[in-house]
Chain A
């Protein structure tokens, strides 16, 4: 069994339902994302359009994150999923440096690396990933790539020539495919991030990686202290900690 994902970008309408479902299902903390939908505006008015690109872990067959992880916290499951064992993770962030897709984050509550696991816990129980279930237009297609009769295999066969992966030149052999995408939607170097052109918010960068309320020394003291409970406000203020190195 080799589980894979396919997103038909022709169907995606950018409702962000998958984003929310993922957050709820996996209790992903604020400021962190296992799955996000990026809006990309292409062209010049009046010949302009908006594209939506859901981005998650690609569960690569040749995963750089699995290779670089010093303690096998990132490991393959038999079904091809690249899973995370957060109880083993040492928080070196090597996987964040290795993943060409920026799909791994440092969980600010556990101070360990985390990412999309294709909802491995749900699959184990015979359920579909939360983002697949919630999608109102069935743009997310999930299944066994080794099974020629699965929906995803048939979808790939039906769209031969139009199926793409992100950054194929990295030789990661992703198991996450897109239909209806193009360079402008899938290649971050083909996109500009211009201040003033963002909807709702400014272009922002996290000024912390991991727990924003604890410094380096606190990491050593953490096992011996009771932490103040983190609330949403803890993660909203991005400017409350060092900009770099203090992660």
Chain B
């Protein structure tokens, strides 16, 4: 009965057009997740290179840019694929609109990917002197080995805005009040450190225990603060009516509630405790398990946070 379900002061929409559902779907989630790994490995790799000798992490010099290159290309591929007019992507470079974080981000990400590619080529051929001895590219890379160290600081610096620009895109999405710039900026940064440390943990089998301990430390800190950020937003975003209405899609139970809490437990809580434990006892297998869980959980958390604001009717 209407009398029992609809408050007298409430209004009920009785005729309207079909509203668009989720506009930015799993491809954008994958895009953000892959970018977190692509920039995170550079940031965490730089931290490790600062803290430890290269001998302790024999393959880092080429695996770090290789992982970054792979995931940056996944990120770029899905950025392109999500466009309704993919061939017009070139318009971002021909007709850039600089107030748009999409434009600024596309330029920075392209430059970043190009520089990471240079690092990868130099790093790989330096580490494998017997590979393609007669290849001009390989020889040029080996001859310019010093370039790696020269451009690496700039790549690390550039990794920060490339990590963060998606947060500004979300902040520019004025219709989605859940995405506030300060919170999103911090979420993105923690996500990059989480994803970067998790990805490097997976290739750190032959590294020194001390280097792995540092990776576990970064993973523990990143999962802890990521979890805190989400909890803060989940429970205390009540100052904005739109954010509160958006969070109702999670608070009320259902698929997004399940996905969110799976993300929190698998991605942040469990990896945090495993990472803290790994700092005392060097258990490679357990730490790898934590890294995989963290990457899966991060995807789930990002997926929920991306989709729920899009379910709110805007008009």
Contact = CB atoms under 8 A, between A and B. Distances in A.
A225 B297 CA distance: 40
B136 interface: no
Contact of A192 (B6, B97, B174): B6
Interface residues of B, number: 59
A207 B23 CA distance: 9
A105 B84 CA distance: 12
Given A44-B3, A90-B83, A194-B6, A96 B23 contact: yes
B172 A190 contact: no
A103 B314 CA distance: 9
A44 B3 CA distance: 6
Interface residues of A, number: 77
Contacts of B97: 69-72
Contact of B172 (A45, A47, A98, A103): A98
B13 A193 contact: yes
A31 interface: yes
Given A210-B84, A220-B86, A45 B13 contact: no
A46 to B, nearest CB: 11
Given A36-B16, A193-B313, A185 B11 contact: yes
Contacts of A204: 18-19
B175 A41 contact: no
A136 interface: no
Given A67-B100, A243-B21, A245-B27, A40 B88 contact: no
A102 B314 contact: yes
Interface in B1-42: 2-3, 5-6, 8-27
B99 interface: yes
A180 interface: no
Interface stretch (A2-10, A152-160, A195-203): A195-203
Contact of A97 (B84, B88, B176): B176
A70 B84 contact: no
A204 B17 CA distance: 8
Given A98-B174, A205-B18, A244 B315 contact: no
Given A101-B175, A190-B11, A247-B25, 5 more contacts: A40-B12, A68-B100, A69-B100, A71-B95, A94-B100
Interface of B: 2-3, 5-6, 8-27, 81-89, 91-92, 95-97, 99-103, 106, 169, 172-176, 241-242, 245, 307, 310, 312-315
21 contacts: A38-B13, A40-B14, A68-B99, A68-B100, A91-B83, A98-B172, A99-B175, A99-B314, A101-B175, A102-B315, A184-B11, A193-B13, A198-B15, A201-B15, A205-B18, A205-B19, A206-B19, A211-B84, A219-B84, A223-B87, A247-B25
